Structure 1
Amino acid sequence: MYEDVITTCWSIREVNKNLQDRESMESYSISYLKKACMHLSGILAAGEGQDEEIEVVDRAGKATRFTVGEVAEMLKETKKIIEFNLIDHVDDWARSKAKNG
C-alpha cells in the first residue's frame, strides 16, 4: 500500500508542477489531478490502520494530527488538499512507514 501511495503522490506533484508549462493541457491536467487525489483517497480508505494518525501543518504553521480515514476524506476536497499541503504530508507518512515496515 505504501508504495502505491508514494507513487501516486509523486505523480500528483509532477502533473501539478508541469501544469503551468502546458496551457493546452490544462483541463486534462486538472481532471487528472482530481482523479489522482480520489484514487489516493481510495488507497488510504481501503488500507489498514484507519485510526493511525498523520501529522499535517496548515499554512499558518499549526500542526494537527488527523486519522488516515480523515485524511482520505480530506483528499476529496481541493481546498483541504491545498490548505494542509496534504500530498506532501501523506507522502512523508507513507515513506516513513515503508522505511520502518
Structure 2
Amino acid sequence: MYSDVLTMCWSIKEVNKNLSDREPLMDYTVRYLKNACSRLGEMLIQIDAQSPGEEIGVRDRDGRERRFSLKEIAKMLLDAKKVVEFNLIDNIESWARSKA
C-alpha cells in the first residue's frame, strides 16, 4: 500500500508541476488533482484501519512541526489551502518512503 501512496504522490506532483503547460486542459488537470487527492485520502484511511494511531509530522508555514492522524490528513487533502499550507504531498511522500 505504501508504494501505491508513493506513486499517487509522484503523480500529483508531476501533474501540478506541469499545470502551467496545460492551459487548454486546465479544467481536466484541476479535476484530476482533486480526484487524486481524494483517492490518496482513501488510501490513508485504509492504512489507518490496518495501523490505527499512525501519524504524519508536517511543518506549517511558520516552521512549527505538528502531527496529524491519517484520518485528519485525509480530510485535509480535500482542502487545497491545507494541501499547500502544510505541504501535504511532500510530507505524505516522506512518511510513506520511511514505511516502504
Q: TM-score higher than 0.5 here? A: yes
Deviates more, 1:10-19 or 1:57-66: 57-66
Deviates more, 1:32-41 or 1:58-67: 58-67
| Structure 2 gap ranges (5+) | none
Query: How big is the shift at 1:21?
Result: 1.0
- The one-letter code matched in structure 2 to 1:27 is D
Query: How big is the shift at 1:68?
Result: 1.2
Q: Deviations over 1:37-85 (max 9, x none)?
A: 0000000011222411110011111110111111111111111111101
| Residue aligning to 2:33 | 33
* Percent of matched pairs sharing the same residue: 54
Deviates more, 1:46-55 or 1:58-67: 46-55
Deviates more, 1:47-56 or 1:83-92: 47-56
Q: Distance in 2 between matches of 1:97 and 1:11?
A: 19
2:50 maps to 1:66: no
TM-score (ref. length: structure 2): 0.94
Q: Distance in 2 between matches of 1:72 and 1:94?
A: 14
| Structure 1 gap ranges (5+) | none
Aligned residue pair count: 98
CA RMSD between the two structures:
0.8
Say if 1:80 and 1:86, in contact at 8 Å, map to a contact too. Answer: yes
TM-score (ref. length: structure 1): 0.93
2:57 maps to 1:55: yes
